[in-house]
Amino acid sequence: MPTPFLFHFAQAHNEFRLPELSSICELHGIPFSLSKNPQSNDPNRPFMVIELENEEQARILAKRCILIKAIYEFYGQGSTYEELHEENRKSEPLWRKYVENTSFRFLITAYQHKIPQSRQRDVMESFAYMGFLGKIDMKNPEITLTCFEDYEERTGVTRVKHEGDGDFRQVFFGRLIVDGSARALIGKFDVKKRVYYGNTSMESEISLIMANQTLAAPGKFIYDPFMGTGSMAYPTAHFGAFIFGSDIDGRQMRGKQKEPGVLRAAKQYGVASRIIDLSTFDITHNPLRCGEMFDAIVTDPPYGVRAGAKRLGRKKSLPDYKKELTRQHNLNGRPDDQPYIPPTKPYELSHLARDLVLLSRYLLKPGGRLVFFLPTVTDEYEEVDIHTMLCEGMEVIANSLQDFGSWGRRLVTIRKVTKEKYPPPTFEPAPNDQDTHIPAHKDFREKYFQGFRSSKSESVEPEGQEQDSGSDAQQ
């Protein structure tokens, strides 16, 4: 029978809460449904009431979801204490068994507010009708009952102490089932404590959420095509998956010591044996012999602010006679030659995103997921931007914004919904690029360095010029 549970979420990355929850529910086959009450089904509030089948499922979720602080057996809620007590009385069958002889602790707390001690005592006494006879034990109680008052966001406003006390949106009451233990992983994977990282390494909390979006689990095979310093690999491997990583620039994966940096960091986390292999190649010229190999592809593509994406080739390709010269030189190299480093050219973000989806459709098993970050200009973003990069057989299942003000990045999760086999992508630019919708993430690098000044209407026409001036600057 579906039972309501009170979820207390960490007040961070609101848009990521439900996608993460539904991913972990899918991974463990847990059916869930949100409350019908608009006061307890808003994913922007820290407290939500969600129905599960049993307590065991709540424990599974709290062990794996990074954004869950704790889960409670739900006894009641209300916009006033009268409403709360009325619901709580109806929940008596749930708490009656603790009345007789169970040691307990009673906590009254609030979100965005501090309740004065005197009122805390009043609130506690208003629950006297429950008639708990067990010992009060603040240190090691058998059960913890918690009452949460949820106040409106009031950050940045000066106010007198305790102003607006009791003026909460909603009050919730329940019995603690389990504290969210996955949040401790944020500290474990802290980039600052990692033995090897780079200036574009992904912060640990987000990389853990991404790992959850991939449904990482033992026996799964997961690929990162822009491996870099491996930020995505460690949490994913921590959850049991095997990882294959590639990058066009091997130096990122290697670091300066003999033992590759990615492996050293993986050892630190005890997951080195799950890093199946690392390889230097350009995804647009990749050596993978077959498709449908991976359960998920997870990556943070370089978008050009601190590091730009590159692909093999030259902006202006060489005349044939020069190509022939390089070929001859390669064939008849002298033993003291430095290792050959092929030329690269910039890989524009909207092309990269579209290619990544096509490549994923080829490399993923049916039902597999592509999880990646896409930067975007906040004012210009439109829902349709995401759809410009989709192709047949690939469907967006989550799209959550991490807002940095004038720009933001979207964590996009795409599922391969087709069983059909597709050929490997050609990585050619799409035909008639001009007619199609121009997504806000196109030429993100240029827009970033211009401070996102050009408004949408202006940017459409001088697009060509912008690009020209951009490439001139780089030559």
Partner 1 sequence: MVRLITHNVLACHAKNCNTNNFPLQFKDVKVEHREAEFNADFLKGFLPKLEWKALVDTAKELGDTSLPDEQPEMLDDEFLQNLHHVLLEIHVEEGSMTCPNCGHVYPIFNGIPNMLLAEHEIG
- Which positions lie near partner 1, rule CB under 8 A? 218-221, 242, 244, 246, 248, 250, 253-254, 258-260, 263, 273-282, 285-290, 292-293, 312-314, 318, 323-324, 326-327, 330, 339-340, 342-343
We find the least distance from the C-beta atom of residue 371 to partner 1, in angstroms, to be 20
Measured distance between the N- and C-terminal CA atoms of the chain, rounded to whole angstroms = 66
We find the least distance from the C-beta atom of residue 281 to partner 1, in angstroms, to be 4
- Residue 277's DSSP bridge partners are 244
We find the least distance from the C-beta atom of residue 310 to partner 1, in angstroms, to be 11
Q: What is the C-alpha separation between 391 and 319, in angstroms, rounded?
A: 35
* Beta carbon nearer to partner 1, 19 or 225: 225
We find the least distance from the C-beta atom of residue 238 to partner 1, in angstroms, to be 13
Q: What is the C-alpha separation between 260 and 148, in angstroms, rounded?
A: 49
* Beta carbon nearer to partner 1, 332 or 434: 332
Is the CB of residue 142 less than 8 Å from the CB of residue 134? yes
* Beta carbon nearer to partner 1, 293 or 397: 293
Q: Give the gyration radius of the chain's Cα atoms.
A: 27
* Beta carbon nearer to partner 1, 324 or 468: 324
We find the least distance from the C-beta atom of residue 280 to partner 1, in angstroms, to be 5
Write a three-state SS string for 308-345: CCEEECCCCCCCHHHHHHHHHHHHCCCCCCCCCCCCEE
We find the least distance from the C-beta atom of residue 57 to partner 1, in angstroms, to be 23
* Beta carbon nearer to partner 1, 219 or 423: 219
Q: What is the C-alpha separation between 475 and 467, in angstroms, rounded?
A: 13
Which helix (H) or strand (E) covers residue 25, if one does? helix 14-28
We find the least distance from the C-beta atom of residue 423 to partner 1, in angstroms, to be 13
Q: Which two tokens stand for residue 92?
A: 């008596």
Is the CB of residue 408 less than 8 Å from the CB of residue 373? no
H-type alpha helices, 41-80: 55-64
Q: What is the C-alpha separation between 471 and 151, in angstroms, rounded?
A: 51
* Beta carbon nearer to partner 1, 342 or 462: 342
* Beta carbon nearer to partner 1, 57 or 284: 284
Tokens 């439900």, residue located: 18
